Amino acid sequence: MARTPDPDKRTALLREVVDYLEARGVNDLSLAPMAEALGTSKRMLLYYFGDRGELLAQALDASRPKVGEMFHGVGTADQFSDAARVLWRQLTRGYQKRSVRMLLQVLSLATTDPETYGPYARTAVEVMLDPIGDALENVGFGRPDARVRATLVVSGLRGLCQDLLVTGQRARVDAAAEMVIAAATRAAP
């Protein structure tokens, strides 16, 4: 009879996988070198995660910000702006800072290898769009408009994360993030 995977070992190994991918990237993801670096075997990675694709999907899921929690209960424009600032700080200063590099790499790879990385990239966008769009609906915007505004926030902040990583110009990029956040709740002309 097959042994059931130990959930504590799996959780610990997933944290190590995320750390490995955040440090080395996902472009040339190969299980054998990863296993060696983590002090385990390729067989154990497959045992706990199924295959390379499922390992990547779980690592991305574990590393992304909990946007639903950040925007839960938002009902006013001020609450929305506060939640968006928390997201921005997490992406650029908090524990999410390292995962942004991995996310940006997956999004970039999806443009050149959509068959492999497209599903991960789409999920990464949708899991942020949905709670932010819902929060904007709670603020009072209609569903189509809320989705467009959520796209502004998600894509705008993501692009600014990339700008900050490339230039290191925090003051300028933080000011631009404030503009994106303010534009998301500004009344339509």
Q: What is the pLDDT along the chain (189 residues), one digit of tens a residue?
A: 556 667 788 888 888 988 888 888 777 778 888 888 889 888 888 888 888 888 888 887 887 777 788 899 999 999 999 999 999 998 888 666 677 888 888 888 889 989 888 888 888 889 899 999 999 999 999 999 999 999 999 999 999 999 998 999 999 999 999 999 999 999 764
Residues 6+ apart with CB under 8 A from 141: 149
Rounded Cα distance between 11 and 112, Å, is 31
pTM across the whole model:
0.80
> Domains in the chain, ordered, with CATH?
7-62 (1.10.10), 65-185 (no CATH)
Q: Provide the residue type at 144 as one letter.
A: P
Alpha helices, DSSP H only, in the chain? 7-24, 31-38, 42-49, 52-63, 67-71, 77-92, 97-112, 114-139, 143-167, 170-185
Write down the pLDDT at residue 154. Answer: 95
Structure confidence at residue 18 (pLDDT): 86
